[in-house]
Structure 1
């Protein structure tokens, strides 16, 4: 099997390698290192990330081997595809910002890229569906766009000026984590506080970009190892002569990792703000709506109405949403049992978590874990299952 990656990420490679190891494949990853196209190669199948270069696409077409593409850069080419679900990525970021009370939004990118366009378009749609507006900050479409030695300085000055124009507090979804770093630097350059004035979320969860910064950056884990694994599985089906789907297979993100760059509560209602901060700090504990009302200094009924108006969900629904998102992250650790995860998410039992998770996502915790890199449920649940939605 040959890997020809116009864009390389070790997590995609790791997912492919995991499938290869369990199915007796021999991988030829030479092009991931040397970037040399192996004209004349004769193997069984190709896993490709077809980028901007025409030579790579020409090689894959001439090879006439079963091929799976991880990119939508060339949609006219007749290959099955496995892609990140960028719409789901954008929805995660929008939900996160909206749940923190933000009402001003922007999406930032700096190049024409199919993935950036998918994410940006979906983010704008997600916030506009909630009656908000979203600015598109596109450096490559700016009249000041330039290439050359001092491009970085001109771009940072432009981005700083554009961010200053927008109403605050502002939530910025960046096309990648590198873009998020640029937004952070522009904010620091322009004296805009992060996250108090500008909250930032990136995409890809690149730990070097996110955790090495003075202000760690929140990011969406796009589940790239699963993208690689599922691509290899699809190639296996092709090589066996089986019919495969013509529509791209979209892999949902693993979750949004909240770090300091977006950890704020920007709600102008003091009671709702206190309640939401209490919820964010204690959702992993066995709390309920009555506890949230006490933290807010409000009656349960008054909190329900105010919360619904400012956050767009009831207090109980937001509590369940945060717990499910936490459970998704913890399920990535295969050594943790469902009982342990349930306790760490504020549920009274694994059964309660099982039903809440199925109700929220449409799949069981075990099924969800199987979509994560190497994930399988080691501790299946048993007994009677019941769920109470506390509004």
Structure 2
């Protein structure tokens, strides 16, 4: 079996494993590459998709292995008869294992600014954390907010990106002469789940209202929304929330759709593959590091703050966001607010220009649009989760409102944000 040091040098293309100098099914070269990237969440999967898209765009054949092929005994990577590695360098164990080895390595991760301390010359592509936070911050400013807070997490060697995002927030609000309101909370462990929302709720109660909260991840943003629900605070009128990652699953787990900043993970994967390809086939130097800008803000209901002065309307909208998908009707909303339906309709017409029934209908329609674009549920499940009484009724609504069926709507808009 060829060893990792059994390499050939071609003056045209540099150092190439001997077995990779052969043509393979019409391709110029073939390489065995392992992706030590977590494929369970959107972050890792999107990076892997970017790698695959780059490979498909070249004439170079890659035989790709995934982290799952090594995870139980990842140390065996040092004995693997392969050609290159793209690895998650937010994982210190992988970093220690791969630095100084014989295999060409490209790192991918969420942290960049302090890379000199731990990357040791390995090419690296990462998220632009200051840009992620700036995009969330400017979105909240555009929503008319003037108070801002940041829900972070205690930085560790596994999440240097968290410290960078927190620092970016502090710099932004300090430059705008706002108070730096940061809460790190505690790591999320099952035994602490009762304490986590209680402590978070205590912090949120101290914040000036209305306030826009940027969460360091979508998971932390979901905790903020749960704490607001327990406090009876209206999202987004009193607390506007935006996360980072744009994970569709995190949004689906909330009663109120979650706004989030989408990282450029697909582009990160493409650039990482390009870096590794160059290391495998060229004597040209590879850039030591590169940051990737965010894709943009996926603005959903959790951050679309509109100042409301009528407490009845604010309370009613909060109830509708929480329970519209369960098929509530206008009289139930009026009962929750504590007034008659006629009175509540009068308040809605004065404040928003439409009735309570129209507000419920609009929310259900927007929710169905979000779910159709996400493409994770069946059409009957979309109807159920949006509060429509039946799939047939949802079809009739889409025909009336958009001139198409839900299937046609999804085909036109899937992958686009509202």
Q: TM-score category by the smaller chain?
A: 0.5 to 0.7
Shift of 1:26: 1.9
Shift of 1:57: 2.5
13, 20, 23: which one aligns with 2:48:
13
16, 31, 35: which one aligns with 2:71:
35
Equivalent in the alignment of 1:151: 192
Contact in 2 for aligned 1:7/1:50 (Cα 8 Å): no
Equivalent in the alignment of 2:215: 174
Q: How does 1:223-234 map to 2 (within 5 A)?
A: 223-234=264-275
Contact in 1 for aligned 2:51/2:272 (Cα 8 Å): yes
43, 62, 85: which one aligns with 1:26:
62
Distance 1:258 1:47, change over 3 A: same
Which TM-score applies when normalising by structure 2? 0.58
Question: Using the alignment, how far apart are the partners of 1:32 and 1:241 within structure 2?
Answer: 31
> Does 1:60 pair with 2:98?
yes
Structure 1: gaps of 5 or more residues: 269-391
Contact in 2 for aligned 1:7/1:51 (Cα 8 Å): no
Distance 1:27 1:178, change over 3 A: farther
Question: Using the alignment, how far apart are the partners of 2:189 and 2:294 within structure 1?
Answer: 35
Question: What SS does the aligned partner of 1:139 have?
Answer: coil
Equivalent in the alignment of 1:76: 118
Question: Using the alignment, how far apart are the partners of 2:264 and 2:80 within structure 1?
Answer: 30
Q: How does 1:81-230 map to 2 (within 5 A)?
A: 81-112=124-155, 113-140=159-186, 149-230=190-271
Q: Deviations over 1:20-74 (max 9, x none)?
A: 22223324333246623133112221101023442x2343135322211112486
Which TM-score applies when normalising by structure 1? 0.62
Shift of 1:179: 0.8
Alignment root-mean-square deviation, CA? 2.2
Contact in 2 for aligned 1:86/1:118 (Cα 8 Å): yes
Q: How does 1:337-352 map to 2 (within 5 A)?
A: none
Question: Using the alignment, how far apart are the partners of 2:63 and 2:225 within structure 1?
Answer: 39
Number of residue equivalences: 261
Contact in 2 for aligned 1:6/1:48 (Cα 8 Å): no
Larger radius of gyration: 2
Question: Using the alignment, how far apart are the partners of 1:148 and 1:201 within structure 2?
Answer: 22
Equivalent in the alignment of 1:45: 84
Question: What SS does the aligned partner of 1:173 have?
Answer: strand
Shift of 1:267: 9.4
Question: Using the alignment, how far apart are the partners of 1:43 and 1:64 within structure 2?
Answer: 10
Question: Using the alignment, how far apart are the partners of 1:223 and 1:27 within structure 2?
Answer: 25
Contact in 1 for aligned 2:39/2:45 (Cα 8 Å): no
Question: Using the alignment, how far apart are the partners of 2:69 and 2:262 within structure 1?
Answer: 24
Contact in 2 for aligned 1:6/1:50 (Cα 8 Å): no
Distance 1:197 1:27, change over 3 A: farther
Shift of 1:223: 1.6
Q: How does 1:282-293 map to 2 (within 5 A)?
A: none
Shift of 1:194: 0.6
Distance 1:254 1:30, change over 3 A: closer
Question: Using the alignment, how far apart are the partners of 1:159 and 1:63 within structure 2?
Answer: 44
Shift of 1:101: 1.8
